[in-house]
Structure 1
Amino acid sequence: MPSKMSGLMLAGIAAYGTSTVYTAFTAVGGGLAGLSTGRSVSNRGTSSSSQQSSRSEPSFGTSTTGVCVLGAAAAALGVAAAGRRSAGRQGEVSRAANPRKFNEQLPCSSGPFSVTVGKAGPSSFSILIAGLEKAGLTSALDGDGPFTLFAPDDKAFEAAGLTAEAVLAHPDLVTILKMHVLPGAIVAKGFKNQTVETLGGPVTMRKGVKGVMMNKAVINKADVEIANGIMHILGGVILP
């Protein structure tokens, strides 16, 4: 409702500004014509009439110019705001027209669908993808969901001291990866101190000085929208 009211107000301002500009320019034209006629008559009249007409001109001209400027500014603001709203709606339609599931999003380490964290370059998830494939969990992430995936990128595995070979050879690979998947969609607004039940068991979500943590892994980027859920990028790996 507030956004609709704001839209109506801006539309009203634009319409009022346009009307004011039209009225002001009409007044200017009429005023100038009248002043021209007044000068012609005053030239044939007395000197005092000419002086009175001359004194009245600056006041009329300044007032009309002020109205024109204010009206034009209001109209321009209304049109600009309408343009921004239209562009925003088009952007939303564009995003909605390109849904991507987890298995389509994760390989995007470059291009328009890549995901960046802060000032770092696009995140790469090659280790996570390899682990999901070996654990047989790829098909599960192709489901309708919704799912929440806490996705450690390659830098997160490196920070945990885990190479691709070590991850793939880990005896608890399936359990560890399942601890990164949660049934249902939890967005950042739902982050709080709680225990969430992942597919691999309970994981502690806690708000701390470094940010929101899943066990000891910090969420570096939240709310990456996916067609069948939501993804949060981790700076570490959730371990039992």
Structure 2
Amino acid sequence: MTTTGTAMGAMEQTKMVGGAPMYPSKTIVANAVNSKDHTTLVAAVKAAGLVDTLQGPGPFTVFAPTNMAFDALPAGTVPTLLKPENKATLTKVLTYHVVPGRLDADALASQIRAGGGKAMLKTVEGEPLVATMQGSGIVVTDAKGGMAHVTTSDVYQSNGVIHVVDKVLLPG
């Protein structure tokens, strides 16, 4: 993807996530496989059969939980979700972290302000996430009331943007 104008070029600089550069010219999957902080997420995306989707044109906004976020789930949750017989549940959890469109932190903050302090984000899974501001940071709340903080925002990809989060979001 080529960018035109200096504002877009500056906006889409390469960020480091999990010790690896995240290139704006690569897809979400092509970048995520290099992050040592997202090996569980990548394994889950593969197990759910979502690689082709997340390599598609999008654009997608992905709230990407770290390995530590997956580790914080109750013992046995991740191995159970990765079993072939639980593919539908795994897909539901993963697509709950994906919002259609390219919503960077500025766009999210604008939606939050326009919504009087909260933005309702319709996920690919179908249920909403609620985004709010906490200080200058963005917090995403799931259907069960769990709150994930965006720890790294605006990791631009050729087919969207990733926001790294510190918790796995769960649909209702």
TM-score (norm 1): 0.51
Identify if the C-alpha distance between structure 1 residues 93 and 182 changes in structure 2 by more than 3 Å, giving closer, same or farther: closer
Which runs of 5 or more residues in structure 1 are unaligned? 1-84, 110-122
CA distance in 1, matches of 2:12, 2:168: 34
CA distance in 1, matches of 2:166, 2:80: 18
CA distance in 1, matches of 2:12, 2:164: 25
Quote the offset at 1:93 in angstroms.
10
Quote the offset at 1:211 in angstroms.
3.4
Say which one has the larger Rg: 1
How many aligned residue pairs are there?
Answer: 140
Select 1:204's aligned residue among 105, 125, 130.
130
Q: Which moved more, 1:125-134 or 1:170-179?
A: 170-179
TM-score (norm 2): 0.70
Quote the offset at 1:102 in angstroms.
1.0
Alignment of 1:163-202 (within 5 A): 164-169=78-83, 172-191=89-108, 192=112, 193-201=118-126, 202=128
CA distance in 2, matches of 1:173, 1:103: 17
Quote the offset at 1:206 in angstroms.
1.9
Quote the offset at 1:167 in angstroms.
3.4
Match of 1:58 in 2: none
Q: Does the alignment pair 1:238 with 2:169?
A: yes
Which runs of 5 or more residues in structure 2 are unaligned? 1-5, 15-22, 113-117, 142-146
Alignment of 1:93-104 (within 5 A): 99-104=25-30
Deviations 1:73-109 (A, max 9, x none): xxxxxxxxxxxx9xxxx989996x9711111101113
Higher helix share: 1
Deviations 1:176-211 (A, max 9, x none): 100111111001012221110010121111223593
Identical residues among aligned pairs (%):
29
One-letter amino acid of the counterpart of residue 97, structure 2: H
CA distance in 2, matches of 1:125, 1:205: 22
Match of 2:59 in 1: 146
Identify if the C-alpha distance between structure 1 residues 207 and 139 changes in structure 2 by more than 3 Å, giving closer, same or farther: same
Identify if the C-alpha distance between structure 1 residues 99 and 210 changes in structure 2 by more than 3 Å, giving closer, same or farther: closer
Secondary structure of 2:58 counterpart: coil
Higher strand share: 2
